[in-house]
Structure 1
C-alpha cells in the first residue's frame, strides 16, 4: 500500500516513541513526528480543504502508511489491555501487555504479548 494512494499517513511517531493521530499534534513541522517506517520527518497537514494527514517532508516511502497503521493498532491493544476474542461476548482483560520488537518464539514473532492472571511469560 502506498501512501500516495490514500490521503497520506493517519499516524506519526512522536519524539517519545508513541504513535500520534493527526489531531493530537501541532500543524506543520511543529508536530515533531517522523515516519515509523523510514524515520523521515513528517509534516502535519491540517488545512481547510483536504482531510488532515501527515506527509513526508521530503520524498515519501512506499510502506509508511501501512507501518503507521500497524504500529498504532499494536499500541491501542497494549494500552487498553483488553481484547474481544472470536466466539466470546465479553472482552478478556489482561494484567500486562508488551510490544516486543525483537521477541521470537519458535516459529512465531508476536506483535503484542498480552498476559492474563493465569499466564506468565518465560524466556529461555
Structure 2
C-alpha cells in the first residue's frame, strides 16, 4: 500500500537527488574532462561530435527540471534513454560493477530505475509546477 501522505515527499527526495547527480555529472564533463575533451570522446566512439553538446544540454536542463520539479516526469524519460545509451555505448562492455576499469553499468542502470520511478510518480512535493497549479 502506498502512503499517500508521504509519497509526494519520496518523489521530492528522488527527483532532487537525481537532479543533483546530473548536475554533478555535467560538472565532471565540463571541469574535469573539459568540453573539447568530452566532444572528442564522443567522436572516438564513432558518435557525431555535435551529440555531445546535446547530451550536456539535456543533463543541464534535466537536472534543473528534476531539482525544481518542473515537468520532472517528462525530463526523466529522455534522461533514462540517455543513461541506457551510456550503457549501450560506453559502460556495458566494462562489466557490471562500476568500479571496473572504465566503469561498469550498475550505476547507470540504477539511474535508469530511479528516473523511471520519477516518470511514474510525477513531480512530487515542493515542485515549481505544483506551486503554479495551486495558485
Structure-1-length-normalised TM-score: 0.31
More helix by share: 2
Higher RCO (CA < 8 A, seq sep 6+): 2
More strand by share: 1
Structure-2-length-normalised TM-score: 0.29
**Greater Rg by CA:** 1
